[in-house]
């Protein structure tokens, strides 16, 4: 769904598909950006993609889902996104659609009705990204404990004996457990066939993403110079955690969405 000039504002997408009555299908034009697994080599696309595009100018939300296959004429890789801060094991690409013919069989759902599916998928994605943040925080916490328990300093058998280090570790553990509890609570109550779960899908990602980056930052601090080097993992965890504050909706979008949803709620409905 993301494009060069439409990321968090997904309804601002410019990709469009125009119905061609002579061929009984749609002609798709546009560009998508930051597409995970869009390419491996930078030359060829993946095999198949689920693509959202505007199919009417009447309403901003008139969007349709299409499946686009890798060998369709006019579909190509614009560029492979290199030199990313983090998530470097996940290939990311720009994809270009130039007069790509989409037959009726490649329409997913109803024409102009994909916005609801897109928003529901975003809710699910945000919960999944919160889970990724929990994993990052747990690994960073493990690394902190392992290193500090084995590094002697200032005449003590290990760094773990110092209150400053204990503060980093214990606060990280408490925040990790809070995020994990929030994540499991949202996940256990999530009905994948519904929509309207945005408040806590936004909330759990907002909290867990920031928490994971903070825990990874503390891990770098505990490991000192070693934490700043790739050999000891935690600098990669910090870099990977940063994307979680951007991808799947920025922190700022979560603030906007959550404040809107909270205003709609009667105070008695908050649990």
30-86 residue pLDDT tens = 999 999 999 998 999 999 999 999 999 888 899 999 999 999 999 999 999 999 999
Mean pLDDT, rounded, of the chain: 94
Whether residue 62 contacts residue 55, with contact meaning beta carbons closer than 8 Å, is answered with yes
Q: Is 125 a catalytic residue?
A: yes
Whether residue 4 contacts residue 33, with contact meaning beta carbons closer than 8 Å, is answered with yes
Token readout for 20 is: 């061609």
Q: pLDDT at position 271, please?
A: 57
Token readout for 72 is: 């369709």
What are the tens digits of pLDDT across the range 208-254?
999 999 999 999 999 999 999 999 999 999 999 999 999 999 999 99
* Reported pTM: 0.91
Active site residue: 58, 69, 125, 271, which one?
Answer: 125
Q: Domains along the chain?
A: 10-108 (2.40.110.10), 115-269 (1.20.140.10)
Dist. CA 181–CA 149, nearest whole Å:
27
**Residue from 80, 61, 162, 41 nearest 119 by CA:** 61
Dist. CA 160–CA 118, nearest whole Å:
47
Query: How many other β-carbons are positioned within 10 Å of the β-carbon of residue 93?
Result: 22
Token readout for 173 is: 């553990």
């Amino acid at each position: 769904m993301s494009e060069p000039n439409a990321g968090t504002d997904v309804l601002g997408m410019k990709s469009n598909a125009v119905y061609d009555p002579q061929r009984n299908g749609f002609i798709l034009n546009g560009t998508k950006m930051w597409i995970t697994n869009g390419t491996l080599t930078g030359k060829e696309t993946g095999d198949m993609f689920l693509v959202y595009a505007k199919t009417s100018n009447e309403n901003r939300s008139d969007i349709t889902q299409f499946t686009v296959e890798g060998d369709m004429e006019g579909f190509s890789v614009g560029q492979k996104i290199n030199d990313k801060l983090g998530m470097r094991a996940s290939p990311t690409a720009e994809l270009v659609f130039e007069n790509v013919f989409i037959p009726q069989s490649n329409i997913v759902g109803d024409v102009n009705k994909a916005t609801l599916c897109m928003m529901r998928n975003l809710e699910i994605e945000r919960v999944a990204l919160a889970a990724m943040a929990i994993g990052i925080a747990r690994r960073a916490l493990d690394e902190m404990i392992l290193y500090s328990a084995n590094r002697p300093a200032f005449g003590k058998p290990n760094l773990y004996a110092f209150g400053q280090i204990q503060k980093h570790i214990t606060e990280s553990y408490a925040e990790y457990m809070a995020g994990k509890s929030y994540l499991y609570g949202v996940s256990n109550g999530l009905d994948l066939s519904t929509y309207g779960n945005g408040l806590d899908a936004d909330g759990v990602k907002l909290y867990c993403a920031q928490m994971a980056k903070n825990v990874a930052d503390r891990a770098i601090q505990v490991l000192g110079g070693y934490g700043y080097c790739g050999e000891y993992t935690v600098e990669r965890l910090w870099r990977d955690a940063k994307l979680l504050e951007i991808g799947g909706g920025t922190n700022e979008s979560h603030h906007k969405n959550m404040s809107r949803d909270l205003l709609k709620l009667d105070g008695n409905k908050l649990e």
